[in-house]
Amino acid sequence: MKDSNNGDEEFINQDNPPFIWCLVGNIIEERYVGEAKVIGKGTKKFSPNSKVYCFPALWGDGYEEIKVIGRTRRRRNYSIVITSSKYITNWRLQKVFAPYIVKTMLANRGWDGTEKSKDTIMSMLMWLPNVTMKIIETGENMKSQGEVGDLD
């Protein structure tokens, strides 16, 4: 029988952590597609409401384009995709235990199980909901709100 302290030390080892803190969101249900501004469901890669695990900022674009892990529309297995943050809603902090997500995040400079990651995500949650694209019906006209680069 193992001593509980020894088992805990192995479990906390960063090579095989039990969990990571992760920024998680869902793909929006509707968005504008093309020049004709036709309303589309989800995105090209993800179905509406698909859960995505978002990487931290990896380049200096103000978190407009982000790397995510999610189950894709056609393959139904996890894939790493670059998508626009304006197509993600329901931002939240989550403890992730799924071995594939944990391994992939750690191997690609993603989130980890430290308090620093948790604190960074909490600070991001203060401004991230404002970047999500929203479709608002105003009488006969439809318009988007919160779109990055929107001049309205």
Secondary structure letter of residue 57 according to DSSP:
P
User: For the chain, how far is it from start to end, CA to CA, in angstroms?
Assistant: 66
The residue-averaged pLDDT of 44-72 equals: 90
Please report the pLDDT score of residue 110 as a whole number: 94
How far, in Å, are 39, 105, 109 from residue 84 at the CA level?
17, 19, 19
Please report the pLDDT score of residue 39 as a whole number: 74
Instruction: Quick: pLDDT tens for 15-42.
Output: 566 899 999 999 888 776 777 777 778 7
Instruction: Quick: pLDDT tens for 94-128.
Output: 999 999 999 999 999 999 999 999 999 999 999 98
Q: Which of 23, 76, 9, 6 is nearest to 46 (CA)?
A: 76
Please report the pLDDT score of residue 32 as a whole number: 67
CB atoms within 10 A of CB 22: 26
Sign of CA dihedral 77, 29, 103, 9: negative
The residues, any chain, with a CB within 8 Å of residue 136's CB and separated by 6 or more, are 142, 143, 144, 145
The residues, any chain, with a CB within 8 Å of residue 140's CB and separated by 6 or more, are none
